[in-house]
Amino acid sequence: MEKRKILITGASKGLGLAISQKLSGEYTLILHASKPESFTNIEPGNHILCADFSDPEAINSFCKQLKKEHGDLYGVINNAGVTYDKPLNYQPEREIDAMLNVNLKAPILICKTAMKIFSLTQQGVIINISSVVGESGNAFQSVYAATKAGLTALSRSLAQEAAATNTEHKIRVLSVSPGFIETDMTATIPEAIKQKYFNMIPAKRFGKVDDIADTVAFLLSDKASYINGTNIHVNGGLI
């Protein structure tokens, strides 16, 4: 049987890299990062499709190329994300735009492209990587948290939309909300704040990239065929 084809955005490091390593072999992968140089190693048989999502024109070109070259797409992991943590009062508009474009506009347009492709076979899975703060909120992450809340609402709505337009289909749309996971994104958080988070985690450890990659691999598989239109928290009990 031919391998299913999966797009993973932000696959050069952190969660995206761990997800790509977990899915490699079972699936054919389309790996995305902001630029090709972000990748150090590409498994033979996988594809590279890069774009800087802070630029709306680059998102549009990316989606056009995705549709043109990968009409057999089966799954999408919308994982690329950025955060610029500071009080909203001091947040420059360019940072607000970058978070809106990378974290929300790109996933929305990629979902639109994927849903068009999925409509041909009435099957496919989208997993949008949200965040615990999309539900809890977090001081100095107002815009980031808003984009992540947007992804959970997008996922729920699209799952309903797939059913509203087709009574018989195998399309699922989900979001996953990681808690505090050790990656480059959390590496620069000051120790005192890390300790504050640590004290709030009943599991008494920070998350590892494989905690998320294992969850994504399961949700993507047919074993999760009845999990749809919901948000899965992977946070050690943080909320």
Query: Which residue ranges make up the site for ligand NAP (CB under 6 A)?
Result: 10-16, 33-35, 38, 52-54, 79-82, 102, 129, 131, 178, 180-181, 183-186
Shortest CA distance to 179 belongs to which of 128, 214, 130? 130
From the list 27, 144, 197, 226, the catalytic residue is 144
**Beta carbon nearer to ligand NAP, 59 or 171:** 59
The distance of closest approach from Cβ of residue 75 to ligand NAP in the complex, given in angstroms and rounded to an integer, is: 17
Which pair of tokens denotes residue 112?
A: 């639109």
List the one residue out of 100, 99, 155 whose CA is nearest residue 127: 155
How far apart are the C-alpha atoms of 99 and 138, rounded to whole Å?
15
Q: How many CB atoms lie within 10 A of CB 72?
A: 12
Pairing label, strands 28-31, 5-8: parallel
Which residue's CB is nearer to ligand NAP, number 186 or number 230? 186
Decide: helix, strand or coil at residue 168: coil
In the complex with ligand NAP, the residue whose CB is nearer, 124 or 134, is 134
Cβ 4 to ligand NAP, closest distance in Å?
22
CB of 190 to ligand NAP, least distance (A): 15
Question: Is 144 annotated as catalytic?
Answer: yes
Both tokens of 106, joined, read 């790109």
Name which of 20 and 122 has its Cβ closer to ligand NAP.
20
Q: Smallest distance, Å, CB 65 to ligand NAP?
A: 14
